[in-house]
Each structure stands twice: as C-alpha cells, then as structure tokens.
Structure 1
Amino acid sequence: MRKDGAVFHQPVRGRGSQSGDAPQRVGLASREADGDWRDAMEALDGPPVKLRTTVTEEHPKSIVSFNQSPDVPFDRSVNAYRGCEHGCIYCFARPTHAYHDLSPGLDFETNLFAKPKAADLLRDTLARPKYRPQAIAMGTNTDPYQPIENRYRITRALLEVCLEARHPVTITTKSDRVLQDIDLLEEMAELNLVAVAISVTSLDPILSGKLEPRAAAPARRMAALERLVQSGVPTHCSVSPIIPAITDEFMEEIVARAAMIGVQSCGWIPLRLPHEVAPLFREWLDVHFSERAGKVMGIVRSIRGGRDNDPDFFTRFKPGGVWADLFRARFRIACRRAGFKRRDFTLDASQFRRPGSGGQLRLL
C-alpha cells in the first residue's frame, strides 16, 4: 500500500508500465462497470499472468515527418513502428498512443503498429522533384530495432532505399539488433551517409530489466557500440535519460567505457516526463523504488522549475538549478578525463540521387 492509501499489485513482469492507467487528453475509451465478473476479476486474481504483444499493420499515406522544432538537431524523421515493445517506463513517446484511443501505459508496449509499406513511401518521397535531402532521423519516437523488427525488417528496407538514393541517415536505438544490418551500415559509412547512437542508461542489468524490460542488456549495447566502431561506423553513446538517484551513479563509468572502446562522441539527456508519462513513472517508482520515490521526484521538479516536466522550447532539454548544474559538471569532467571532445557528425547529402518512384528505376 502506498502512503496515500492506494493499493498496487505486484510488479508486472516483463513490462515497464505497471498499469494501463494514465490521464487522457484525447478521450481514451473506457468500459463502464456493469457488475459482471470482469469488474472483480483483476481485484481477485491480479493482472494477467503474461501480457501478449499484438501487432496491427497500418498503411499511412506518407512516412517522412517534418518538424520545425528549434531545439532538435534534425528537421525530418521516419518511424517504422508505433508503440515500442522495449517498454522503457520513461519513454516520452508514450502519450502518442492516446491518439489511437489506447493507453500510454501497457497498451503502448503491447499493442504495436507496423508500417510494412514504409520503404515504398520513402522511395516515393525521395523521388519527388521538389524534395531536398537532409539527414533523416530514425528512432526519434520509437525504436527502429525493437523485437518486431526481426519479423518485419522494415528498418532494413528503409536503409536499403537510403543507400540506393545515397541519402544520409542517423539511427538511435537501445538494441544490439542494429548489428543485423551491419553490412548496409558499413557500406553507408564508407560514403559518410550514416551515424548510429546507442542509448546506455545504466550498467546494471537488473535495474535495466526494470527500466527497459525488453531492451538489450547494457553489456550487449556496449558490445554493439564496439562492433560498430570496429566496422568504421560513426558512433555516439547517449547516456540517457539521466534519472536522478536511480541511474546517475553510472554516468562516469559509461563515459569511460565508451571512450575505451573507441566511441567517437558521448552525450546526456535529462529525464523528461511529458503528459501521461509523469503519472506512469510515479507509479513505477512506487512499485520498484518506493523508499526513494520522494527524493527522485523532488530532484526532477527542482531541475524543471518546480514542475514534473518542462515542455517549453529551448529549455526542455536544458534543465536548470543546482542538481542540473551538478549533473552537467560531472558529465563534463567525465568526458574530459576520457578524452572526449565535442563532435558533431556531418553527413554528406551531396551524393543524393533521386530514386525511381513506385519501385521503378529512373530513365533519365
């Protein structure tokens, strides 16, 4: 029982979110209690023993999303999937599931959407006469190498189109599954068309199993970074998110290990809790770290101007206050000791050659 008197179940094994509950902004449909056996089922038996993952195929009319955000380093992105089976409890993309009348909680990590025609849509976009190439970001919303990529291989198909068109791509992932496409990545790296970032949140596999239950273990992520370096692929280690009093203790060691294996750059991002993520994260704290939940959220609010989250442009990625200054100083010192220097990967868009639309080769 929590301090406020609310009762919670045992941890939901193998999932990040501990429930499907979260305040909704777009009217998530809910079933009204009518007195049948389902209303008492969970109270008597607890949650289902094992939640199954389902995948719905969707067929959008476009695949490239453009943005004008002043504080992200890309203006276009491609997401092969909606929802993410990795189940990272802190994932800022969780609220997007509410637009499907699904929960940003367990639905986000169990009811997934795949876009099997994504490569064809990308080809059509790149073939447009007015299209101008700039690096496409993959993995900005949900992970392009989550487990269902084994089945769908949509990310690989997208990379094949980009290689054919000589179009630059950046990839962000928490999975060593990226190595399945090492052949494409090596060829793209030789042409300066790709850079890969792998997020390493902690070095404790037990903690990672609670935070990111279906993502690769930390050791496998570090091994993937090393393999990418050895293959000549530009690599970045993202120590993110930094969760106060939960993962910040690993900051210096992650930086040191990344430098040791030859990773070219390293960065950090503070925890963000937009919209429905905040109550889900609080619930997760109550289940796994109830003894320090107050401390964690107290620090989070201190770096976010007294709020659970700062949604404002220019400041949402730049926390303030004493704790933020401490994390920033620690990371800067760790990078200096490891020999990291600030580096931005500048990929080459000058080689772009417009592909044929609809899978046809260009005649001229």
Structure 2
Amino acid sequence: MVPQAEGGVVVITGASSGVGRACAEAFAARGWHVVLAARRAEELNEVARRCRRRGAGRALPVPTEVTDAAAVDRLAQEAVDAFGRIDVWINNAAVAAFGALDEIPADVCRKVIDTDVMGYVYGARAALTAMRRQGSGTLINVSSVVGVAPVPYNAPYALAKAAVRSLGTSLRQELWLEGHRDVHVCTMLPATMDTPFFESAANYSGRKVIPMAPVYTPERAARKALRLVRSPRREAYVGPAAAFLALQTKLTPRLMEKGLAYQMNRAHLSRTESAPDTVGSVPHPLPGGAVRGGWAGGRRTAGRRLATAAVLTGAAYAAFRVAGGRAPLSAATQGSRRHRVRRCGRNGAW
C-alpha cells in the first residue's frame, strides 16, 4: 500500500465516474489533495464531497472539457494556484463509439479521437510543464489492452488507446534526453472494467454492447495507480486477462487478431439483444456518476478466474479453428454487418 502523503496533489480527468472516480476516492483515503476534472459539475461536486469524507486534504472540483487546450491549461493552473504543485496527473477521460467504421458518423469518430488522444496530449503538456518546473512528478496515462490487442467494431477507441501508449513512450524518451530522472510517465492498460463506460458509449452496431469477460472492478485500477506512484513503471496491465492478451498478441499476432475478432462478435456485441443508434456521451455528458456499471465486476476472485479462463479458452479455440482451417472465421461470421442486418435489422427487430 502507498503510505499517506500529506500535501501530495493529484489531478484526475474523467473523475466523475468509473476508474477516475475510483482513483479519486482511493487517493483521498490516503490523505492526498485531489483536483477533480470532468464535464459534469454536479457529479464532480458529489465526488468532491465523498473525497472529503474519505479524508482528502482538500478536494477541488474543476469542470473541464479536455478537448479544449485552454481549459486543460486552466485546470493545471488552478491546481498550482491552490496547492503550489502537481505531484500526480492521471489522464483518464475517455469516450467510445461501437460499430463498423463506415457506419459511425464522422463527427462522432472525430470527437472520440479528440477526447481520447488530444485530451491526453493537452493533459500531458500541462502536467509535464509543472513537473519539469518543480523537478518531479508522475503522469499516468490510462490506455487499454485494446491499444495492444485491438478488436473490431470499436476502431476509434482502439486507435486512440494505441496512440496513448505511443505517447507515453515518446514522452519518456524526451524526459530521459532532458535529464529529468524524477519525472515519470506511466501507461496503465486495463482489461474490461465494471464502469458505466459501455452504457454511455455511442453505439451504431445495432446490437447491445456487453462487456467481454472477465470484468474487473475499477477499484483494482485505482490500486494499480497508487502502486505506480510509489514504484513508477513504463507500462502496467490491470487484470491477468490484459497481460495474457498482450503477450499472446505479441507471440501469435495473426491468430490472436482473428481470435479476438471471433470473440468480439460473439461475446462483446449481444447476439440476442438489439440496440438503437445512439451518440451516447460522446458529444455531451450524460447524467449519473457511479463508480461501477453493474456488470458483475465485484464477483469473487474465483468467479473472475473462471471468467478469465473462459474468455481465453474461447480466444484460443477461435485461433485453433482459424489455424486448422476447419471453420474459417470469415465463414463463421461472414462479416458482422451482414450478420447484424440479417439477424437484427436496421430497425432492431429480431
């Protein structure tokens, strides 16, 4: 566990729900000053109240649109004005859009990239400016395992998360060349998290989005963030499934590419429940501010292990089918778009 750090200051984007809110409460419980950023002022105020009850030194809510560079700079300035420094900055705000790339509206794709890439770029610029000046600090960029092992029908998000991983590498190189040995950049790559993320995502697939098991609690990601502050690492996976998928993608990229496509089509997009097209929270925030999404992320460890075994076995089986040529993946799915139109229809009827 990370010891209480009196006067430590952490800035968290996307702090109104999910992993961001879990991180805020975890740092607050250890006596940190927390600066909370998200688009929803009402939810931020509630998170600030919860952080104060948990023992935060101070909790400062700052409504922020991370796609606005000037707004992110103001966020950093408010943190420095209030506390004199920024010890940790967690780039976490993210949105997603599910569906075939040519069926997701171009403006929705652009907003996902702006939030999930440029929001991190603006956050990194603001955070590292302060950290270089003070000579120390830790920037944590929350990427995703899909940044290493991409899946179909979520291309803008997968693209963004791969970019976030590359951003971390470039920033570490720059800091090393400049001699900033006490300024750290860490990339956190979670597996599926039990957050409101899936319900609030834009969806143009015609099918209900279901988190692909195993599903881990956002508190697990918060504990990982705390450990990264204590012992910075280049990259850290959250959940055994994330580490496994990354390793297998590196070792057998072709088989895992097709295996994950098979699993996505069978387990991540419902085969029995349709869904209307929705822009979700991509352009504007939705009401609510829960830590969890109700996807059974709080299951017992044994249950999560069984779920991990199931999804990994499924991916391996899919890869085996592809490799063996017994049932080529293309024949099994024949393209999700035709599968969706045939089974689901554009009007959502089955």
Task: Give the alignment's TM-score, normalised by structure 1.
Answer: 0.33
Bigger radius of gyration among the two: 1
Task: Give the alignment's TM-score, normalised by structure 2.
Answer: 0.34
Q: Of Structure 1 and Structure 2, which has the larger fraction of its residues in helix? A: 2
